Amino acid sequence: AASTSADVSSGRFGFALEATLPGPTEAFAFSGTGAFDTESNRSEFTFDFSSFAKLLGGLLTGLGAPEDGAPDFNDPSAWQIEAIQDGETMYMRFPALDSELPEGKSWVRMDAGAEAQAQGFDLSQFQQFTGDDRSKMLDFLRAASGEVETVGPDELHGVTTTHYRATVDLAEYEKLVPASEREEAGTMVDEMLEQLGSTELPVDVWLDEQGLVRQLEMSFSAAQPGTPESAEASVIFELYDYGADVGIVPPPAADVADASALTG
């Protein structure tokens, strides 16, 4: 299923993460949608970070951080982040930073490689959707171990699917990745073992009749080092409109400023 899904050249996706941390009274979440097109080497994303921004604003206020020059953490529209990747060029729109842009500009353009990292952005995850690394998003399913339970039929985005429940062993995943990535994978597995107490993660997967992954869902609890408290988190990732013309278009040139034009 992972290989079949990764081979499709275009489609759309959505994701949502919700977490409850020790201390704050309410959970924070972020979600987003996007599309990918490998033939044009383009992808696009929209992220909603408003819940996380509200939590961050509250933490900074509690720490007595100065408010002068700080973005408005309570304005949800300021934290709707858009990104379009066109080959080696990335366009980003981040309303919370509009005041840093030249007048009349709403998008920032940057090189998706060294320039983006110099500006503080790691955009490698974006390119996984259009490059050879896109399969990494699904590849960990190859590490499913033990019995796979068939939960039953379900419908997602108008498509008939079958819901399965399985366990992924990240220690096995470490053995499956290329040798050049094994050290990084091993570090991730060690961190998961320390925080979760196990390398095994339960996962729910929905597959359609063609064997394409339509949805993944995981929930887990991570212990906070040195304390008896833990953080609860759930993640949902869905894929749909496989093979569709997703129509990804970069923003108009008149709306775009180079990253070097940022004033702060």
> Pairing between strand 159-169 and 200-208?
antiparallel
Most confident listed range (20-24, 125-129, 190-194, 256-260): 256-260
Examine the pLDDT at 199 and tell me if it is beyond 80: no
pTM of the model: 0.77
**pLDDT (tens digit, 9 = 90+) per residue, 151-195?**
999 999 999 999 999 988 877 777 777 777 777 777 777 777 776
DSSP 251: P
Rounded distance between C-alpha atoms, residue 65 and residue 70, angstroms: 9
Q: Which of 4-13, 67-76, 102-111, 208-217 has the lowest mean pLDDT?
A: 67-76
User: Which residues does residue 24 pair with via DSSP β-bridges, in sequence order?
Assistant: none
Nearest to residue 254, comparing CAs of 135, 64, 109? 109
H/E segment holding residue 59 = helix 50-62
**pLDDT (tens digit, 9 = 90+) per residue, 15-58?**
888 887 776 556 777 888 999 998 998 999 898 877 777 767 66
Q: Please report where in the chains the tokens 């408005």 appear, as a residue.
A: 72
Enter the tokens of residue 164: 């399965």
H/E segment holding residue 49 = none
Rounded distance between C-alpha atoms, residue 43 and residue 31, angstroms: 17
Length of the chain: 264
Nearest to residue 51, comparing CAs of 24, 70, 79? 79
Give whole-number Cα distances, 30 to 14, 21, 128, 213, 239, in Å.
11, 14, 20, 22, 17
264: CB partners within 8 A, 6+ apart: 69, 100
